[in-house]
Structure 1
Amino acid sequence: MKLSRKFLLIGGLAAVLALSACGQAANKNGNNNTSGNGEAASVGKKVNYQIIGIDPGAGIMKATDEAIKQYDLKDWKLVEGSSAAMTAMLDKSIKKKEPIIITGWTPHWMFSKYDLKFLDDPKKVYGDAEEIHTIARKGLKEKQPVAYEFLNRFEWTSDEMGEIMSAIQDGKDPEAAAKEWADSHGDRVDSWTKDLTPVNGEQLKLSYVAWDSEIASTNLLKYVLESKLGYKVTALQVEAGPMWTGVASGDVDAMAAAWLPLTHADYWAKYKDQVEDLGANMTGVRTGLVVPAYVDIKSIEDLNK
């Protein structure tokens, strides 16, 4: 009886080892794979091979079209929409812990609210870090020297911008959020306005695109120009094309929303001789494809596996 039990135990152990070896062999040959290429394929199916984008005129949309070509993502489609629609879909997916792939950029409040990551871009389709530049119409320096000097001095960080964006996202009116930030960062505002003589109600036009970052920066500029420097400012929310055209034609005085060298590359190439670049008001910004951190892919290349 004891001998029979011994043989049974040995036989059972042998069977377990044999099954384990078969499983290892299957994985070695590419069968039953639950990570790597399999994960990428699973993500593609779950998101219906869609990349959720924003408005069709945005530079990041053109770059994403190019990324689809460069990475040979034949089955993938870029979905046009708006920044608000994109972030709403992101929020819905994260609440359900479902995968989603979006066109993203920093600075943006969504990186503070959610745990997100950029997909690696080894082909550099989205380029390296970008800058946000302030662009003025020709002749602004002569016609409005106070405004020109203020805009020329204006520069800040993504963390500073993030404070205003977060306040707006939490429900605060953009103008109120900008005022609150300026009033609590007096030293920063003073560095932009020091020794500038206020004007008496002179008109000034700014334009911007409906990105959260540009809503924050333009409302801040409007508040400082009006409360500290005496201007009457009109802020025009438009698409990227009209924003550049307005400054180039002189119908708009300035904008602080030029993403260079990649996102607005076409507009810069077309209008660079008709506008004046006052330089970067923010450095180290980035664009690309973004996923929630729990999505187990690392690179845009993975989408083609």
Structure 2
Amino acid sequence: MKKYLKRLGITAGLSLTLVAAACGSEDANQEAATGENNEDSQATEVSVGEQLDYTITGIDAGAGIMAATEAAIDAYGLDDYQLQPSSGAAMTSALDAAISNEEAIVVTGWTPHWKFAAYDLKYLEDPEGVFGAAESIHTIVREGLDSDLPEAYEVLDNFYWSPDHMGEIMVAVNEGADPAEAAAAWVEANQDIVTEWTNGVNTVDGDALTLAFVAWDSEIASTHMIGYVLESIGYDVTLMSMEPGPMFTAVATGSADAMVAAWLPGTHEAYYEDFKDDFVDLGANLDGAKIGLVVPAYMDITSIEDLKN
């Protein structure tokens, strides 16, 4: 905001001595009140980039959303910005701290995620389409699972739910519930949905089954939930948390039986392309997922382009 000092005019008829005294008094009063001298001064408005310290807070360095964000930095000419890798937990912690103090922050974001229920957030518009359209989360299994563990294959093939379903578990976990307990509570409260996945499927007697997942809030929710469902028909389920690359490698090599955590076509595209001939894609278990850059709703920007201001 620009501020200008103006000398007050002195009425005609006063002596030069009174004019000088009056002007000196007026200037002194204004300087005391505003901290400005009698030269014109201008305070520069803090830019969006300066408010953000030219930093975008990210998650795991290997995540697809991080690669997309690097592409967005190039596409929108955000040359002064740095993408700060962290983790899902560290990102939401930074977001919480900024919102508590009503400070500026921009983070890599995705839905489903509990943070959209906890805070008033908005995606920045992406006119260049760098982050792509809405995504789906796919179920991927190792080759031969249909013959080795046909009941598990059938349940995993039937599995499909909504972002709202997943969100119920994520919110419960964020509020302090153990993931396994939150998943079990959701299954018990939603038997009508679960029955659609298990109807007609035979029970088994302790067959071992391993599910790989990346430790994002969304995938913690979905993997614990489907693991509980598979345990309910008799499987001895082991959950393995790992980074996205090793997750795809594990299923492709058979060291894990399945995952329900493949974000496509964008987030995990590179891993999918590397291993697509070595596993079986059972299709989407959730539609309407989204990735992009997210800011608190109180920030007066609407587009990624605004980060340049």
5+ long unaligned stretches in structure 1? 1-7, 9-31
Is it true that 1:180 corresponds to 2:194 in the alignment? no
Counterpart code for 1:187:
D
Report the TM-score, using the length of structure 2 for normalisation: 0.85
What whole-Å deviation, never above 9, does each CA across 1:117-166 have from its counterpart, x for those lacking one? 00000111100000000001111111111000000000000001110000
Q: CA deviation at 1:33?
A: 11
Is it true that 1:165 corresponds to 2:175 in the alignment? no
Out of 96, 109, 112, the position equivalent to 2:101 is: 96
> Which residue of 2 is the match for residue 14 of structure 1?
none
Distance in 1 between residues matched to 2:210 and 2:81, nearest whole Å: 41
- The runs of 4+ residues in structure 1 deviating greater than 3 Å are none
5+ long unaligned stretches in structure 2? 1-10, 12-41
Q: RMSD over aligned Cα, in angstroms? A: 1.4
Conserved? CA contact 2:49–2:308, under 8 Å: no
> Which residue of 2 is the match for residue 116 of structure 1?
121
Counterpart code for 1:302:
D
Q: Per chain length, whose mean CA-contact separation is higher, i.e. which structure has more relative contact order (CA < 8 Å, sep 6+)?
A: 1
Counterpart code for 2:120:
D
Secondary structure at the residue paired with 1:56? coil
Matches within 5 A, 1:219-234: 219-227=224-232, 229-234=233-238
The number of residues matched between the two structures is: 269
Distance in 2 between residues matched to 1:188 and 1:111, nearest whole Å: 24
Out of 268, 274, 281, the position equivalent to 1:270 is: 274
Distance in 1 between residues matched to 2:96 and 2:148, nearest whole Å: 46
Conserved? CA contact 2:48–2:308, under 8 Å: no
> Which residue of 2 is the match for residue 251 of structure 1?
255
Distance in 2 between residues matched to 1:112 and 1:225, nearest whole Å: 29
Q: CA deviation at 1:304?
A: 2.1
Distance in 1 between residues matched to 2:272 and 2:248, nearest whole Å: 8
Is it true that 1:63 corresponds to 2:68 in the alignment? yes
What whole-Å deviation, never above 9, does each CA across 1:48-86 have from its counterpart, x for those lacking one? 000000010111001101111111110000001000000
Counterpart code for 2:175:
D
Distance in 1 between residues matched to 2:108 and 2:188, nearest whole Å: 33
Secondary structure at the residue paired with 2:261? strand
Report the TM-score, using the length of structure 1 for normalisation: 0.86
